[in-house]
């Protein structure tokens, strides 16, 4: 109920606002009309008095004659000035005033903007419409009885003495014409419309229209039958062709559809096309039938206007958009060729045919991806102003909305992407290297802009975000291996009473017997800690196989145990604990 009350109140307020606006315009028009009539009457009165005074002179002298001529010229100039001022005021109100239409047989004949005497513009338009309808409905129409006649400040259009409409100076100003020209135009429009309508409603024309309608119906039936036969023939041809042919539809060795699917698809397309053609033929036939009869012609023309206006707007918009579309095509073509140039340079660098000092080969692909992102962004920026509707507030609002969503939802993705490019140019590792990130040790199997994938010794694939790699410590076991080798170390804790040179000899011997340990540089032993009962020794040995370091360490531990057992040296280290005090 509250909603209904609100709608009613809003409607009443809106109606009163429109009514007040119309009343204000009518008041302003009446003021202009009244002022014009007063000035016109004054000028007419001055001219009459001047002519009477001149007529009373028996023998006017040349000086008096010149005086009267000058006074008449001044009256004419005042009259011209008055008309110019009135025209200026009418032009000021032209966009605000809604004209009233004089219609006949569903066609607009002319428009009336202002009232005349006690009659408003609406009353004048309604009366003119009724008078023209009476002329049409009369049993006898005499062409010469329709004429224009001058009457004081107006020109009346009459038929057999009855006034159809009157044309004032103000009407001529609204139409930007003279009274005589406007009267001739209105008279010609009324005469042509009445004669055409009376001619259209004769018995001969009525019979002719029914015959035309019958011909249109027969033509529609024949075209429908012809369409059915034609499509039936084509469908049978397609079915027979698909039954004889094998393989279906293939694109670059990929089968898009098999024979049965292709046949079903083509038949369905043809059936829908037949339905569309028959609907089109029915619409055209119905339109022609409605246009043939004057009573329905107006409605069909209105319907065609409703259908054609949007299509015309779309076509006009497309034609106006062609220059911008050509600009977009040129920008896209230039962007595409720049992308091809960048890709060509990237491939040449990767093949090491093109060398740039200080630019590593592994930088080529990520640099190309980065440049491609900038190129795409620049192309979008260049194309954006030429997109249809780019300057509308709705388009801008949607763009801002998607921009906010993208920025809020992709902050971590952007951080990982930036970290990925930084890691690429820092070159801390490459694909195939063994690295350690935090507590994860594995071989790098893939590097992308967002993540790095590692495969551990247990064949576990671990995905590590690039931002985590950038902000944490990374150990690369493979970077120095080809030149210097990777040092593997094993710690042992042995008693003080075992000579250290013996331990050194045995540990180095075990290392040299291990597969994967390089004899040069030679292994070496470090004494890391001296404890109360034992010493902590660290064996360091070189290997060129970081991918086998876990297996090499395992074999090295095995060889250490075997070597010390053969030498009769126990690997147990005693641990002493203080004796607890007793009471």
Q: Domain check: are 452 and 387 in the same one?
A: no
Q: Domain check: are 316 and 350 in the same one?
A: yes
Q: What are phi and psi of 231, to 5 degrees?
A: -70, -35
- Does 231 reside within a domain? no
End-to-end CA distance of the chain: 97
Q: Domain check: are 127 and 38 in the same one?
A: no
The model's pLDDT over 371-407, given as tens digits with 9 standing for 90+, comes to 898 899 899 889 888 888 777 777 777 777 777 776 6
Instruction: Select from 485, 493, 503, 500 the least CA-distant residue to 541.
Output: 485
- pLDDT score for 469: 86
- Does 135 reside within a domain? yes
Q: Domain check: are 19 and 90 in the same one?
A: yes
Number of domains, the chain: 5
> Residue ranges of the chain with pLDDT lower than 70?
1-96, 245-256, 406-411, 481, 573-583
Q: Domain check: are 350 and 368 in the same one?
A: yes
Domain harbouring 441, CATH code: 2.30.30.60
The model's pLDDT over 429-461, given as tens digits with 9 standing for 90+, comes to 888 889 998 888 999 998 887 889 999 988 899
- Does 448 reside within a domain? yes
- Does 560 reside within a domain? yes
Q: Domain check: are 471 and 488 in the same one?
A: no
Of the three residues 80, 95, 110, the one that is the final residue of a domain is 95
- pLDDT score for 275: 92
Q: Domain check: are 490 and 449 in the same one?
A: no
Domain harbouring 484, CATH code: 3.30.70.100
Element (H, E) at 93: helix 62-93
How many other CB atoms are there within 10 angstroms of residue 546's CB atom?
A: 23
- Does 400 reside within a domain? no
At 334, list the tokens: 């230039």
The model's pLDDT over 15-30, given as tens digits with 9 standing for 90+, comes to 554 454 445 545 555 5
Question: ω before 387 within 30° of 0 (cis)?
Answer: no
- Does 377 reside within a domain? yes
Q: Got the DSSP string for 231-257?
A: HHHHHHHHHHHHHH--S-EEETTEEEE
Q: Domain check: are 81 and 144 in the same one?
A: no
Calculate the CA 446 to chain-centre distance.
Answer: 38
Q: What are phi and psi of 230, to 5 degrees?
A: -65, -45
- pLDDT score for 61: 47
- Tracing tokens 């074999």 back to the chain, one arrives at 555
Of the three residues 52, 77, 95, the one that is the final residue of a domain is 95
Q: What CA–CA distance (Å, rounded) separates 403 from 405? A: 5
Q: What CA–CA distance (Å, rounded) separates 435 from 475? A: 5
- Does 217 reside within a domain? no
Of the three residues 35, 63, 95, the one that is the final residue of a domain is 95
Give the list of residues 6+ apart from residue 265 with CB closer than 8 angstroms, or none: 257
The model's pLDDT over 305-318, given as tens digits with 9 standing for 90+, comes to 787 888 888 888 88
Q: Domain check: are 23 and 108 in the same one?
A: no
SS3 label, residue 514? coil
Give the list of residues 6+ apart from residue 555 with CB closer than 8 angstroms, or none: 514, 515, 516
Query: Domain limits at 32?
Result: 1-95
Q: Domain check: are 109 and 152 in the same one?
A: yes
- Does 140 reside within a domain? yes
């Amino acid at each position: 109920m509250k909603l209904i009350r609100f709608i009613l109140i809003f409607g009443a307020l809106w109606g009163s606002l429109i009514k007040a606006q119309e009343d204000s315009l009518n008041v302003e028009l009446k003021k202009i009309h009244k002022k014009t009539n007063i000035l016109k009457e004054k000028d007419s009165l001055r001219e009459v008095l001047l002519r009477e005074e001149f007529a009373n002179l028996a023998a006017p002298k040349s000086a008096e004659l010149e005086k009267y001529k000058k006074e008449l010229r001044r009256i004419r100039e005042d009259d011209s000035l008055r008309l110019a001022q009135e025209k200026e005021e009418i032009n000021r109100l032209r966009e605000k005033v809604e004209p009233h239409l004089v219609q006949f047989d569903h066609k607009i004949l002319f428009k009336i903007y202002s009232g005349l005497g006690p009659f408003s513009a609406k009353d004048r338009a309604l009366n003119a419409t009724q008078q023209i309808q009476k002329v049409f409905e009369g049993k006898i129409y005499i062409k010469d009885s329709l004429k224009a006649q001058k009457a004081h400040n107006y020109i009346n259009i009459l038929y057999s003495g009855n006034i159809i409409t009157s044309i004032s100076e103000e009407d001529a100003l609204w139409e930007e014409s003279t009274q005589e020209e406007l009267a001739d135009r209105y008279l010609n429009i009324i005469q042509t419309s009445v004669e055409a309508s009376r001619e259209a409603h004769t018995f001969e024309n009525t019979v002719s229209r029914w015959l035309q309608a019958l011909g249109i119906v027969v033509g529609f039936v024949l075209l429908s039958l012809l369409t059915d036969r034609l499509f039936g023939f084509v469908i049978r041809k397609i079915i027979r062709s698909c039954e004889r042919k094998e393989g279906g539809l293939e694109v670059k060795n990929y089968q898009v559809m098999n024979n049965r699917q292709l046949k079903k698809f083509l038949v369905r397309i043809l059936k829908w096309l037949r339905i569309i053609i028959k609907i089109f033929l029915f619409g055209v036939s119905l339109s022609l039938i409605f246009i043939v009869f004057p009573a329905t012609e107006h409605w069909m023309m209105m319907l065609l206007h409703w259908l054609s206006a949007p299509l015309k707007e779309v076509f006009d918009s497309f034609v106006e958009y062609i220059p911008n579309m050509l600009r977009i095509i040129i920008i896209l073509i230039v962007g595409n060729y720049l992308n091809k140039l960048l890709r060509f340079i990237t491939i040449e660098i990767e093949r090491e045919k093109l060398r740039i000092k200080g630019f590593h080969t592994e930088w080529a692909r990520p640099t190309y991806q980065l440049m491609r992102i900038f190129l795409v962004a620049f192309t979008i920026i260049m194309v954006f102003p030429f997109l249809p509707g780019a300057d509308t507030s709705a388009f801008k609002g949607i763009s801002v909305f998607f921009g906010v969503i993208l920025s809020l939802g992709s902050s971590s993705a952007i951080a990982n992407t930036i970290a990925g490019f930084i890691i690429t140019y820092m070159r801390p590792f490459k694909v195939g290297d063994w690295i350690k990130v935090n507590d994860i040790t594995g071989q790098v199997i893939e590097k992308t802009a967002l993540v790095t994938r590692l495969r551990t010794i247990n064949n576990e694939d671990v995905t590590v975000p690039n931002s985590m790699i950038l902000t944490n410590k990374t150990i690369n076991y493979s970077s120095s291996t080809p030149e210097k080798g990777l040092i593997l170390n094993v710690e042992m804790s042995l008693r003080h009473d075992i000579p250290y040179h013996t331990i050194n000899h045995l540990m180095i011997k075990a290392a040299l017997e291990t597969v994967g340990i390089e004899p040069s540089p030679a292994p070496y032993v470090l004494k890391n800690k001296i404890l109360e009962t034992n010493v902590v020794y660290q064996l360091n040995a070189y290997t060129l196989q970081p991918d086998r370091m876990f297996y090499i360490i395992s074999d090295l531990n095995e060889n250490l145990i075997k070597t010390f057992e053969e030498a009769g040296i126990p690997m147990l280290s005693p641990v002493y604990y203080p004796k607890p005090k007793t009471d």
